Amino acid sequence: MAGTDHTRAAVMADPERAPVIVLVRPQLAENVGMVARAMLNCGLTRLRLVAPREDWMAEKAVAAASGADALLRDAQPFETVEAAIADLRRVYATTARRRDMIKRVLTPRTAAAHLRAFADVAEPAGVLFGPERTGLNNDDVALADAVIEVPLNPAYCSLNLAQAVLLLGYEWFQAASDAPPEQLVVNATRPATRADLLGFFAHLERELDACGFLRNAEKRPGMVRNIRGLFERAALTEQEIRTLHGIVKELRHGRPEARSLTEEPRETSQG
């Protein structure tokens, strides 16, 4: 799924309230770039890097950021995890492995709800993500208040760095989104009214009567209900209703003209 609509307003989190994304010892610059892209998709802008192995402003990182390179320029480097989280009051650690320590384990959805609650009271929070190959070590996890674990296939729950950040970021964004679960995009037209539908039904049924399709008087009421139900389920727009009127009209009145265009011209005698 790709695409950016620059005609629509951006929805960005308050930098002072949104969670900080902390990448601990990231190995590949392009992965940092993809994390920046994932973050911006979710309105997150605060990125911190602990002892990155490669230059996060390298060309391959900027290319992987796909337009989110401003996050790379603003990223803050730190030498240790402790320094990166020193100003935070709440810290979560992401991991796919159970550790020999007592920690609350949250799903990304639950963690996102907590992070939203922290944001509402301006309580600074952050999420730790470990190196691509090994993930966070036990000392890193020990610094966190709780662990975030993604409920995936237990036998194979391997995520790359950007995927993990996107999962958490998506849940964070959705926790405050007012987007309807389903909507009909009608663009320049409008949803058809009941009057529009009834007018079309009258037109269609009149022509179906005329051509003999509804000739069985006993079955006619049930057939009419089924036909109407078909179009009612379609959630038609006013433009689509007008198109259907045109189709029915052409099927009734346009047939002779269409036939004349396809028939071979007849020879006429001269005399």
User: What's the CATH number where 170 sits?
Assistant: 3.40.1280.10
Residues 229, 148 share a domain? no
pLDDT number for residue 271: 41
Q: Looking at the domain assignment, is residue 238 inside a domain?
A: yes
pLDDT number for residue 256: 60
Residues 93, 149 share a domain? yes
Residues 243, 201 share a domain? yes
**Cβ within 8 Å of residue 11, ≥6 positions away:** 43, 173
Please measure the distance between the N-terminal and C-terminal CA atoms of the chain and give it in whole angstroms.
71
Q: How far apart are CA 51 and CA 77, in angstroms?
A: 7
pLDDT number for residue 264: 55
- Estimate to the nearest angstrom the gap between the alpha carbon of 82 and the chain centroid: 35
Instruction: Give me the half-sphere count of Cα atoms (radius 13 Å) on the Cβ side of residue 225.
Output: 3
Residues 148, 28 share a domain? yes
Sheet with 125-129: list strands edge to edge.
76-78, 47-50, 20-24, 125-129, 90-94, 146-148, 104-106
Helix (H, G, I), strand (E, B) or coil at 6: coil
Domain boundary among 122, 140, 174: 174
Residues 209, 147 share a domain? no
Q: Looking at the domain assignment, is residue 50 inside a domain?
A: yes
Buried b (16+ CB within 10 A) or exposed e, 190-228: eebeeebbeebeebbbebbeeeeebeeeeeeeeebeebb
Residues 150, 247 share a domain? no
Q: Looking at the domain assignment, is residue 270 inside a domain?
A: no
What is the arithmetic mean of pLDDT over 247-269?
Answer: 64
Residues 41, 159 share a domain? yes
Could you tell me the residue range of the domain that residue 167 belongs to?
20-174
Residues 147, 243 share a domain? no
Q: Looking at the domain assignment, is residue 42 inside a domain?
A: yes
Residues 163, 45 share a domain? yes
Q: Looking at the domain assignment, is residue 188 inside a domain?
A: no
pLDDT number for residue 80: 97
- Helix (H), strand (E) at residue 93: strand 90-94
Q: Looking at the domain assignment, is residue 29 inside a domain?
A: yes
pLDDT at 11 exceeding the cut of 80 = no
Residues 29, 102 share a domain? yes
Q: Looking at the domain assignment, is residue 132 inside a domain?
A: yes
Q: Looking at the domain assignment, is residue 65 inside a domain?
A: yes
Residues 235, 113 share a domain? no
Helices 194-211 and 220-232 pack at an angle, to 10 degrees, of: 140
Residues 232, 148 share a domain? no
Per-residue pLDDT tens over the stretch 206-223: 999 999 999 999 999 999
Give me the number of domains the chain comprises.
2
Per-residue pLDDT tens over the stretch 68-119: 999 999 999 999 999 999 999 999 999 877 777 888 999 999 999 999 999 9
Per-residue pLDDT tens over the stretch 143-194: 999 999 998 888 888 889 999 999 999 999 998 877 777 777 778 889 999 9
Domain boundary among 144, 174, 204: 174
Q: Are 113 and 9 in contact (CB under 8 A)?
A: no
